Amino acid sequence: MTTSSPALGTTGTPEGQPAAERRAAPPAAEHGKASQLARGQANWAVKSFLLVLCLVWMVPLIGLLVTSFRDPDDANTTGWWTVFADPFGSWTTENYSTVVQGTMGPAFLNSFVLTIPATIIPILIAAFAAYAFTFMRFRGRDFLFILIVGLLVVPNQVALVPLLQIYADAGLVGTFFSVWLAHTGFGMPLAIFILRGYMQTLPRSIIESASVDGAGHFTTFWRLIVPMSIPALAAFAIFQFLWVWNDLLVAKLFLGSGENEPVTIALQSLLGTQGQGWQLITAGAFITMSVPLLVFITLQRFFVRGLTAGSVKG
């Protein structure tokens, strides 16, 4: 990360630097090369330690991948690593084809319908709130923000049953709307926390000059703050996307099985009463994982940038 980000380049703020440091330090361009402990100075001990660690990290995943291409009888009788002794032995794509022919297709679509709004809506709402907490003065501001910081640690479980009863009275159980709303509520404290942390690092002078030019808060928000906050927005988006996509419990309670079920539920319903068909789960798990992995890989660079700017402060 030696180059400054495009989004931040315009502001001249070095990313992820301690706040106190930043005020004193010269702008990024004159700052020279960003720090580097010792690039390329790894000795064999460091290299082999990391190699072993990476291998250990990969082993369980490789096990799953291999098993997903094996015949259930084989998977039941021999360890997955035995395939490496006989790499041209019996492989099968049957698990995948069975999974794809089942309810996974529509469930995939449902997962997107569920996840996209459940990611964007909280970001939108939190961005407005974070903007107000950062750039506007109003009564109760600090109290409200501290309350939100405190609520970061309240477990979501407390809300499940009371919400179910509220939704029941409103006739919302089984609708996507109910799940969007739930994830929006649950994700709100973290979203506000991250976004406000980031917005604080944006230079106030820009907002002030916009105000002089006659732009209202609403315009400033859309035209200036949102584009400048892209890294933080993306960072939270990854968090929220991973959480919503992988969620089973909220979907199970508020959406339920059937026509609207997301992949997490569809994956489970591949099983019979006594767990018949577990080998399909291995294939299904890989298909399910592909989307969050893709999202993560594409948005990875924002992740670090967005989160650290807010949190790395002295």
User: Which residues, numbered 85-144, are part of the site for other proteins (CB under 8 A)?
Assistant: 106, 109-110, 112-113, 116-117, 120-121, 124-126, 128-129, 131-133, 136-138, 141, 144
Of 107, 57, 115, nearest in space to 238 by CA: 115
Interface region with other proteins, contact rule CB under 8 A, candidates 30-38, 86-94, 204-212, 224-232: 30-38
Query: Which 222-241 positions form the footprint of other proteins (CB under 8 A)?
Result: none
For other proteins, the binding residue among 10, 12, 29, 81 (CB under 8 A) is 81
Query: Which 41-80 positions form the footprint of other proteins (CB under 8 A)?
Result: 41-42, 46-47, 49-50, 53-54, 57-61, 63-64, 67, 72-73, 75-80
For other proteins, the binding residue among 11, 94, 100, 176 (CB under 8 A) is 176
Residue 296 sits in the site that holds other proteins (CB under 8 A): yes
Calpha distance 287→104 (Å, rounded): 9
Which residues of the chain form beta strands (DSSP E)? none
Structure tokens, 157:
């479980």
Tell me which amino acid residue 226 is: V
Residue 174 sits in the site that holds other proteins (CB under 8 A): yes
Helix axes 176-199, 105-135, angle to 10 degrees: 40
Considering the complex, state which of residue 17 and residue 240 has its C-beta at the smaller distance from other proteins: 17
Least Cβ distance, residue 286 to other proteins (angstroms): 9
Least Cβ distance, residue 115 to other proteins (angstroms): 10
Calpha distance 115→120 (Å, rounded): 9
Considering the complex, state which of residue 129 and residue 230 has its C-beta at the smaller distance from other proteins: 129
Interface region with other proteins, contact rule CB under 8 A, candidates 5-13, 19-27, 206-214, 223-231: 19-27
Site string for other proteins, 267-286 (x = CB under 8 A): -xxxxxxxxxxxxxxx--x-
Residue 16 sits in the site that holds other proteins (CB under 8 A): yes
Interface region with other proteins, contact rule CB under 8 A, candidates 4-12, 207-215, 223-231, 304-312: 304-312
Least Cβ distance, residue 87 to other proteins (angstroms): 18
Residue 254 sits in the site that holds other proteins (CB under 8 A): yes
Least Cβ distance, residue 117 to other proteins (angstroms): 4
Interface region with other proteins, contact rule CB under 8 A, candidates 86-94, 205-213, 225-233, 288-296: 288-296
Residue 34 sits in the site that holds other proteins (CB under 8 A): yes
Contact 133, 146 (CB under 8 A): no
Chain-centroid distance of CA 124 in Å reads 15
Positive or negative CA dihedral for 73, 75, 76, 77? Answer: positive
Calpha distance 28→5 (Å, rounded): 11
Calpha distance 157→308 (Å, rounded): 28
Site string for other proteins, 190-219 (x = CB under 8 A): --x-------x---------------xxx-
